């Protein structure tokens, strides 16, 4: 009975091929929460895969109908070992984005696990089936080695994360007494580098919306009307140019956060954002006074996701009647969420663009969260990871993307520590999604060591 026994147990689980076989079984469920026709698969995943495995772990489970009709079912569970033991809440989501059938590389299919070298391809391998499978397997290894976890465990698995975690906050309010804990330890998102573990304690929030300018009914011949009719695309382009400058620096004062403190700068200093797979970083893009790491983890970013005017796929000689830009602001703590769109309205009006309409998107987005990198639970987790990995992890105050971390922070009042098991080149939310076998093996070992250490005592007090 030792820490190394638990690590060796989970290493053997991977080396004998059991992890790969189990992941293949999870990937085979087409749990597309964005596809209404796949709704039965969401329940099947919980009933046929997650529930039996957690039950074998000694977790009492219940599947809950989502109070939001847009969302899928949720599973909550608990294994209790004693009132004097710390309680860990862990989380995962079993839903995936649309499969994008027909867009994957030849030889690949979204719901078949395919091995090629160090890669395991399949929808959900990285986001998030592989990640919560790693954590469950690590818990199983600790239980097998010690005969007990040494702490109380609470679990929530949702099936609606890819549609904005519809209903999750409502469930947290209704079942708060069954979800309270000392800490959330969960996994989603990527490591900064595949070979170095990463820890992050929150995420950027996001708001998406359309800017729409309609000047008249129908398009009109550019020869007859050019120079007489205003062009909505040109006006829209000028409006966008007032929101950010030519290098993407935000020009709306209310969208410039006040939370990039010296402590956050110190935490971000030296963290890698370039290298590895993916596009090259444009070092001359974004806030000029900030480092690349500060721009993506400590600042807000505005993006135009799509633009249309006229018929792009079949242009004609006509001045369009309307223009639309689909936009998004990713924002950090220190930005007032309720004032993001009102501030934009004031800004457009002040620059003479009163005719441009702002249409918020119905899809919910998560609010920004961040935990102090010096928090005792962060130090505990990073110390454990360093012992197992033989190197300190990268520590981020928050992820650049978005997660439903706000529900854990604002409703349950938890410190939140995320240990991701993917990497930035995994093609998450795209065709050819995959995980790395080497990273998965390392993550299993890291999590077995972490769960072992929590059971040993010496954890931070609430």
Lowest-pLDDT choice from 120-129, 331-340, 357-366: 357-366
Which CATH architecture group holds 3-203+367-455? 3-Layer(aba) Sandwich (3.40)
Angle among Cα 269, 329, 287 to the nearest 5 degrees reads 40
Indicate the helix (H) or strand (E) that contains 307.
strand 301-309
Residue 125: is it exposed, middle or buried by C-beta count within 10 angstroms (0-12/13-18/19+)?
buried
User: Could you report the per-residue pLDDT of 395-447, keeping only the tens digit for each?
Assistant: 999 999 889 999 999 999 999 999 999 999 999 999 999 999 999 999 999 99
Dist CA 141 CA 449 (whole Å): 10
Specify the pLDDT at position 362. 80
For the four alpha carbons of 13, 16, 19 and 21, in that order, the dihedral sign comes to negative
Is residue 233 predicted with pLDDT exceeding 70?
yes
How many other CB atoms are there within 10 angstroms of residue 342's CB atom? 12
CATH number for domain 205-272+281-360, candidates 3.30.70.360, 2.70.98.10, 3.30.565.10, 3.30.1330.30: 3.30.70.360
Dist CA 202 CA 373 (whole Å): 10
Is residue 199 within 8 A of residue 378, CB to CB? The reply is yes
Domain ranges of the chain: 3-203+367-455, 205-272+281-360
Dist CA 299 CA 286 (whole Å): 9
Dist CA 202 CA 205 (whole Å): 9
Alpha carbon of residue 197 to chain centroid: 17
- Please provide the size of the chain in residues: 462
For the chain, give the mean pLDDT.
96
User: Could you report the per-residue pLDDT of 89-129, keeping only the tens digit for each?
Assistant: 999 999 999 999 999 999 999 999 999 999 999 999 999 99
Specify the pLDDT at position 120. 98
106 Rama sector, left if φ>0, alpha if ψ -120 to 50, beta otherwise: beta
Dist CA 269 CA 67 (whole Å): 43
Q: How do 198-200 and 394-396 pair as beta strands?
A: parallel
Is residue 276 predicted with pLDDT exceeding 70?
no
């Amino acid at each position: 009975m030792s820490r190394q026994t638990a690590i060796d147990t989970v290493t053997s689980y991977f080396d004998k091929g059991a992890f790969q076989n189990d992941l293949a079984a999870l990937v085979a469920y087409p749990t597309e929460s964005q596809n209404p026709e796949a709704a039965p698969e969401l329940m099947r995943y919980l009933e046929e895969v997650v529930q039996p495995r957690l039950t074998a772990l000694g977790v009492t489970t219940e599947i809950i109908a989502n109070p939001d009709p847009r969302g899928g079912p949720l599973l909550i569970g608990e294994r209790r070992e004693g009132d004097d033991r710390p309680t860990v809440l862990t989380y995962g989501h079993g839903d995936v984005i649309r499969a994008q059938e027909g867009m994957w590389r030849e030889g690949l299919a979204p719901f078949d696990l395919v091995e090629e070298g160090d890669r395991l391809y399949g929808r959900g391998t990285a986001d998030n089936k592989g990640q919560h499978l790693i954590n469950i397997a690590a818990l199983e290894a600790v239980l097998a080695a010690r005969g007990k976890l040494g702490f109380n465990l609470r679990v929530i698995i949702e099936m609606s994360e890819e549609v904005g975690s519809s209903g999750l906050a409502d469930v947290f309010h209704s079942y708060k007494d069954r979800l309270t804990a000392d800490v959330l330890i969960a996994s989603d998102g990527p490591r900064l580098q595949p070979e170095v573990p990463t820890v992050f304690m929150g995420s950027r929030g996001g708001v998406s919306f359309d800017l729409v300018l309609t000047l008249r009914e129908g398009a009109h011949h550019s020869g007859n009307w050019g120079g007489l009719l205003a062009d909505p695309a040109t006006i829209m382009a000028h409006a966008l140019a007032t929101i950010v400058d030519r290098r993407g620096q935000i020009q709306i004062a209310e969208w410039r956060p006040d939370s990039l403190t010296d402590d956050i700068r110190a935490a971000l200093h030296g963290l890698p954002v370039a290298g590895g797979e993916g596009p090259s970083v444009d070092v001359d893009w974004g806030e000029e006074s900030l480092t690349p790491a500060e721009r993506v983890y400590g600042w807000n970013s505005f993006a135009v996701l799509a633009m249309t005017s006229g018929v792009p796929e079949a242009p004609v000689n006509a001045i369009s009647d309307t223009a639309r830009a689909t936009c998004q602001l990713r924002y950090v703590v220190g930005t007032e969420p309720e004032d993001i769109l009102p501030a934009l309205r004031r800004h457009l009006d002040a620059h003479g663009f009163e005719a441009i309409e702002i249409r918020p998107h119905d899809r919910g987005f998560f609010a920004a969260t961040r935990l102090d990198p010096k928090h005792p639970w962060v130090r505990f987790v990073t110390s454990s990871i360093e012992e197992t990995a033989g190197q300190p992890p990268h520590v981020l105050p928050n992820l650049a993307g978005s997660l439903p971390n706000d529900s854990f922070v604002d409703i349950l009042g938890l410190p939140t520590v995320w240990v991701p098991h993917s990497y930035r080149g995994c093609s998450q939310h795209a065709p050819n999604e995959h995980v790395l076998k080497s990273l998965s093996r390392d993550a299993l070992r890291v999590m077995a060591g972490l769960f072992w250490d929590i059971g040993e005592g010496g954890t931070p007090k609430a």
